[in-house]
Structure 1
Amino acid sequence: MGTAAGLRSAGRTWALASHGICYLGIAAITWGAVTWVEVGAWVYHYSDQGDYTWEQARNYCQTFFTDLVAIQNKQEIEYLNKSLPFHGHYYWIGIRKLGGTWTWVGTKKVLTKDAENWAAGEPNNRRSNQDCVEIYIKRQQESGKWNDEPCSRKKKALCYKASCQPFPCSQHGECVETIGSYRCECYPGFHGPECENVVQCAELEPAGAHMNCSHPFGNFSYNSTCTFECQEGFERQGTGVLQCLPSQQWSAETPTCTAITCPVLSAPDRGELNCSHLHGDFTFGSTCAFSCQTGFALMGSESLKCTATGTWTGDAPRCEAITCPVLSAPDQGELNCSHLHGNFTFGSTCAFSCQTGFALMGSESLKCMATGTWTGNAPKCEAITCPVLSAPFHGELNCSHLHGDFTFGSTCAFSCQTGFAMTGSESRKCTAIGTWTGDAPRCEAITCPVLSAPVHGELNCSHLHGDFTFGSTCAFSCQTGFAMTGSESRKCTAPGAWTGDSPKCEAITCPVLSAPVHGELNCSHLHGDFTFGSTCAFSCQTGFVLVGPESLKCTAPGTWTGDSPKCEAITCPVLSAPVHGELNCSHLHGDFTFGSTCAFSCQTGFVLVGPESLKCTATGTWTGDTPQCKAISCPVLDPPSRGQLSCSHVHGNFTYNSTCTFSCEEGFVQLGAEVLWCAATGNWTRRPPTCAEDSAPFLKQVLAYSSGTALAVAGIVLSGTLIALLAKRLSDRGTEMPLIAHHHFGQGLSGKVVRVPWKGGMITRV
């Protein structure tokens, strides 16, 4: 026999039920006036009402028993060959070629080489379509062997009724038919005669970690799965998922949670470190404060904190000596410094001195303090001064100054214009003691009116005989960004008048600017609209971003500092239609930009989960998350009482387009539709069927064979009262029994055997 699923103990079988062979394990049980046969193993059956094709034979076996016989050892072959009657066309068994491979159809297992029982030269494949197998019973040669035949030929059906029906081994193991009994081969994680016990693992008690467990077969038992998570700032030591194994051990050690560590910090040079630790030295939550000694400044953060990522909130700071402004030797002087912690830093000392003819103005030495300032202002070496000289009236003064106006080393020469006479020294020199050599001269000359520079312009004059006197020449110029109108130069003439007219400086103009589309323009004008010095700032409306410079300035050549910018709509991420759905968008300023609106919809049988539409905002984000299309769900179906349910799910359990097929156990009939389909409305196409008890199917068969007289005989043989009541019950229901003829062979039966003739067969009672 093949290993077929089934009940742990065989069901009770009427001894007169069919032409059958009970293979071992039979016990008689008496209840009232009727004797039943308890069968503790599988039973063989065959019919003698004509022959069947292979498919018809299998339908016959599946209708009244389990399936065509599946043979698992030589003992069964010997038993069948001994017990079955000879039939010229022999018997079909449950092997068929599927996809080119010989397969036991009842168990869907491939025929192995060591289990083959072919007759000599078989399977021969000399003719096509020899895909079914017969067994030679009581054949003169090679009795009990197999032969492949065309499935369309007609032979007897050799059936079996299995012990393993319908839910053996607690559904935690495989039911294996054995001679006279069966055994349960338990799946990993289960044990016991009926695989009724589940393996237990030790209960987990994690320290510091959050545990979440699922227990499909009981708390902390086989296949229980526990996941572990740590709080922020803590990391798991060990695997995050544990599973109870068939060995009663967990798949790994229980993990723990420890605080995440940060790199160890140390005090900076010339500084100090002060830390507080919550969960351990330099771990998550630790805070460290830094400080520096007097005269040193902290470069970096004053405090750092260890974060959940194992990093500090910044880089470690350092202490650097506070710097003072760099000193340099004064002109005509010298500087001599000593530095403790770096050039011109805290503690540095500098001494100053001056050359001959110069005097030190300020402190002779300075020191850099902790405040970053010197103890005083830097001194200067100033040339010793002489009294200021001036040109004589109607004359000129021409001086050269080495170290400053009218100071040590300055030389002044005097001269007079034509018509003017000089009295005094022609030149004088400033000495180291602060006095001029010689006496001051005098000149008389003609003067012109004093001139001044135009607005936004400059005046540069040369005086031959004194300020704005005869011979004086004045040149005019405009500042950058201004253009001159009028005379560029003027001269003081002998009559005391200037040549030409007074000039003016007017600002240079730039092209007029305008605001960009979807933007604004804001200008400030110093010297007139869109002229030199004018500054224009650009901005964009909400939802638009400026592409180009934020501001432009009118330059001296009359051009702006750059090209005018533009305002472009802010973009959002590109959207796509959800699976089983559609996307319809409208765009105001460009594909998936500010103001774009996208609507979502789903195909028939699906419902939208999320917003029906999204809009691109001024921040470049959508107003929500992209929705999904999920299949519409129908109510979950359960198998009917005494029946089975088989479903196929396209989009998820009991959702749109799921199809469920119902069937009933042997002895029950199905009332209602066989197949239900989940529609787009979320409802099943029909109501689930039910399984109703068939009205005494076997007695129907008996009654179908008999007339009134035969029923009376059967009533006497089967102890009248019970059979009469059964006959009346069937009669009241209006049921009929099919005409099926059987032979029964019993072995090891106790009690008296009574045989009653019926149409085409016998009824046996123990």
Structure 2
Amino acid sequence: MMNLGYKIMFFLSIAIHPSAEVPSTCGTPPSFPHMEVRDKYLRQKNIFSKGDKVLYRCAEGYTQYSGIRSIMCEAGKWTRLSMKCEKKMCGSAGELFNGHYDYTGASFRDKAYAVCNEGFTLKGMEYRMCKESGWSGEIPTCEEGGEPQVVPAEVTCPAPSVANGVKLSEADSVYRVGDSVTFTCSEGFLLTGAQQLTCGPDGQWQPQLPLCQASDITQSSKPDGRCRVPPYLPNAHLSDRYITQTDFGPGERVRYRCALGYVRARGTYYSTCVSGKWTPVTLRCERKSCGSAGEISYGDFIYTGVKFGDTATGVCNEGYQLVGRGVRNCMTDGWDGRVPVCEAVQCAELPTVVNGETNGYLEPPYFYSTVIGYRCRVGKLIGAKEIYCTKDGTWSDPPPECKGEW
């Protein structure tokens, strides 16, 4: 019996043991809509140990608005990702003097078509596109008379590709005149040439594509104390004087500045080359706040938010109608346009009722909720005794009639 009991326990322990094991590693991190795992984590490995973390970033054309970007491997499973991404908004494409923009929308990949007033012709791009960094190209002009000089929107540059290089911005599938891309090199490679390229009117990148050379080759001709291209910083970029520089000596310092529509939240603007590496950049840039878009008498603004790229739409109270442009966009220098006005709806002047009169005399205009009462001097009143001006600018009923005799 003891032997039998021992054998039963032995086999039970074998059967139970595998199912009791808890996996200690995690596989490839999960994918989510409008998000992607930062490349460096996927290049390192595809098996992750307990406690390992990976960082996500919003996909091209989307920005983070809440949550935490990281997940962790725990007990063989990835923790839940709380980060949320929203579609990039570009707001207004700018003021086109002697013309206006026709928008397909104001979010990522939408277009704003330039339309000149009668008698004026367009000089420049026929439309601007909402990109990762804002509206593409420059604002065209509408000039009096003359022949149009429109840069064809079909002129594109081929997708730029640099061996061992990584695009930091503007990773679009179509590149038009005026679009820019910024490159850095993969780990172990150094960039030679310009870091930022622009699509020229001839469909060619200007200047020419840079090279990413293996660091051991590059370093053989340079001291180990020098630095290569400074690190990429979200919502910020290098000051213009440093953009094309690819080699920096010990002690050299570069300055960053917040991107268009962003302001410094904390940290310093500088990074210094020390022992072949850049000191950490503490600058953090956040979307500029525009605050209130103003007060509308007899109405309110409905906001998507109050930061750069957000919009405020004017909505009037019942019986009032909007006069002026109804949407304001949060721009780098505050809300564009002006506060619209809500004016009371008016009803048309009423015809005279034969043999009838109104109770009292009201002069036009007749605004929303105005009430007019009728009485007959001769005959009997047929119809509504009182009518009022509705929120739609129409009278609640037609005027009555006075028929017959007393």
TM-score norm. by structure 2 comes to 0.41
More strand by share: 2
Name the larger-Rg structure. Answer: 1
TM-score norm. by structure 1 comes to 0.23
